[in-house]
Amino acid sequence: MKSLAKSRLRAAAAAAVTVALGCTALAAVPTAASAAGGPLAVQYRTGASGATADQSEPWLKVRNTGSGSVQLSDVKVRYYFKGDAVGEAYRFACSWAVKGCGNITGTFGTLAKPTATADRYLEIGFTSGAGSLAPGADTGDMQLRFYRANWQTLTQSDDYSFGAGSTAYGDWSKVTAQLGGATVWGTAPEGNDPTDPTDPTDPTDPTDPGEDGPALFDDFNYSSHSDPQIAAHGWSVRSNAGGPGVPGATWAPDKVTFATQSGNSIMNLETSTAGSGESTKQTEILTQSMKFRNGTYAARVKFNDAPKSGPDGDHLVQTFFTINDLKAPMADDYAEYDFEYLPNGGWGESGNILYTTSWETYRPDPWEAVNQHTESRQSYAGWHDLVVTIDNNAITYYIDGQLFGTHGAAYLPERGMSINFNQWLIDLAGQTSTTPRAYDQQVDYVLHVKDHVLTPAQVNAKVAAYRAAGTTFQDTVPAG
């Protein structure tokens, strides 16, 4: 039943560029949080100075004020604003940039502590193609804009980062810049500095793993896909036919292997093809039980942009997700929460893109989907810490300790789910060669803590505690 839920095409949901992020603005007085001075400065001007506008136009420059070169792929800039309506969806666009619009990304997020002038932010990032900034250099013009998905007029006069009088570039402290995850420029709305140690969403002690609760932890310390401990620990290595993926492909248990790297046991999922459905071998491992619901889910996953052998270019999907079965079209007790990385595009995308998607339900035929997603168009090759938390109010996604997206209460699960990893091909249109090629996705560990919302720092501490104790597997999550 789980495979049937995965078998529908996600093109309608994943190809969309709308990021729907909802948060109710709370009355609060904005004050300075943690203005930082460092190796970067951000200059701002507005291309649309009216109190209302068809779209907001924050034009930005990032300047290297330090003594060493800065890789732009390590830089994130946040522009803070107040949503025009609860659950409103926004879209980002780049009109022109010296560095090239293709090298600039824009994603939306919600603030942990909304204020009277901000409950959202637009985060600007850079791909590796943007290069670096030498000391004293800047990015040049970045003519950016965002607008309501329904193209209704937006109000920007009440937006924290907006400056009606800023019609020429000047240093602007109401946008923040992060370098390597640390805030080095600007002042966020009160309590929302991404690295502010007083942020109430952070633990008092960031190394404290928090209150214990029923938990699943697996270090994937197995000998092979046929190791009897895999089934004994509640996992199933998929071999049955069905979607998602290329018609005619098979799910190959023997392509799920285990090895040791840097002292940790690692699970490897290999997907291979020679350009036909019959030659395509995909991989998936999932829990047999659908007993997981609210709480914290975490995994350390290595995404790969390039194949380990053969020509590149296939429309590959590398994942970590939870899911249950769709009992009927548009059934309201369906749930699914995805990290999906497409290294070569697909679903209408031409390059690297990472999606997080929260599903309420769907209808396979005719296709209709009810979901919310956040995306980032950049390379995520390498190891990443993926965390998603589910409480009674929201679904919150983190990547490498940084907030990636928050999805609303409408998408919360009504019943339990399984935990899954898989790697599969959307189609064979990305690479039409008949030369064999193979791709790897690796997994270091998985953790679920029932009914407890952990910060990424607490997740890391909990995993470190398991490993220090020599614990490679634990499952105390009750069946019901």
C-alpha span between 80 and 118 (Å, rounded) = 6
Residue carrying the six token digits 């071998």: 281
Q: With contact defined as beta carbons under 8 Å apart, do 228 and 220 qualify?
A: no
Supply the Cα-derived Rg of the chain in whole angstroms. 22
Residue carrying the six token digits 């098979």: 250
C-alpha span between 148 and 48 (Å, rounded) = 15
Q: Could you tell me the mean pLDDT of each successive run of 10 residues in the chain, 480 residues long?
A: 33 30 28 50 96 96 92 94 87 94 90 89 92 95 94 94 96 93 89 49 39 88 97 97 94 97 92 97 98 97 97 98 96 96 95 96 93 94 96 92 90 96 97 97 98 92 92 93
User: What is the per-residue pLDDT for 475?
Assistant: 97
H/E element holding 456? helix 456-468
User: What is the per-residue pLDDT for 28?
Assistant: 27
C-alpha span between 355 and 371 (Å, rounded) = 12
- Strands of the sheet containing 40-46, edge to edge, are 19-20, 89-97, 142-148, 58-64, 40-46, 170-171
Residue type present at position 399: I
User: What is the per-residue pLDDT for 305?
Assistant: 96
C-alpha span between 176 and 38 (Å, rounded) = 11
Q: With contact defined as beta carbons under 8 Å apart, do 130 and 31 qualify?
A: no
C-alpha span between 105 and 375 (Å, rounded) = 9
Q: With contact defined as beta carbons under 8 Å apart, do 401 and 180 qualify?
A: no
Residue 263 is classified by DSSP as T
CA 333, distance to chain mean position in Å, is: 24
User: What is the per-residue pLDDT for 87?
Assistant: 73
Q: With contact defined as beta carbons under 8 Å apart, do 297 and 418 qualify?
A: no
For residue 334, report the phi and psi dihedrals to the nearest 5 degrees: -75, 150
Residue 11 is classified by DSSP as H
Give me 165's structure tokens: 């009088």
User: What is the per-residue pLDDT for 212?
Assistant: 66
Q: What are the start-end ranges of the E strands in 172-294?
A: 175-179, 182-185, 215-218, 235-237, 250-251, 256-261, 264-273, 281-287
Closest CA to 457 of 387, 355, 381: 387
Give me 282's structure tokens: 């995909």
Residue partners of 238: CB distance under 8 A and separation at least 6: 3, 251, 253, 283, 284, 285, 286, 422
User: What is the per-residue pLDDT for 191?
Assistant: 74
DSSP sequence for 95-147: EEETT-GGGEEEEEEEEEEEETTEEEEEEEEE-GGG-EE-TT-B---EEEEEE
C-alpha span between 229 and 284 (Å, rounded) = 17
User: What is the per-residue pLDDT for 112?
Assistant: 80
Residue type present at position 349: E
The b/e string for 21-56 (b: 16+ C-beta within 10 A; e otherwise) is bbbebeeeebeebbebeebbbbbbbbebbeeebebb
- Strands of the sheet containing 104-115, edge to edge, are 104-115, 118-126, 75-81, 175-179, 182-185
Closest CA to 480 of 295, 290, 332, 232: 290
User: What is the per-residue pLDDT for 193?
Assistant: 67
Residue carrying the six token digits 């409950």: 119
User: What is the per-residue pLDDT for 353?
Assistant: 96
C-alpha span between 345 and 312 (Å, rounded) = 12
Give me 338's structure tokens: 């995805």
Neighbours of 151 (CB within 10 A): 10
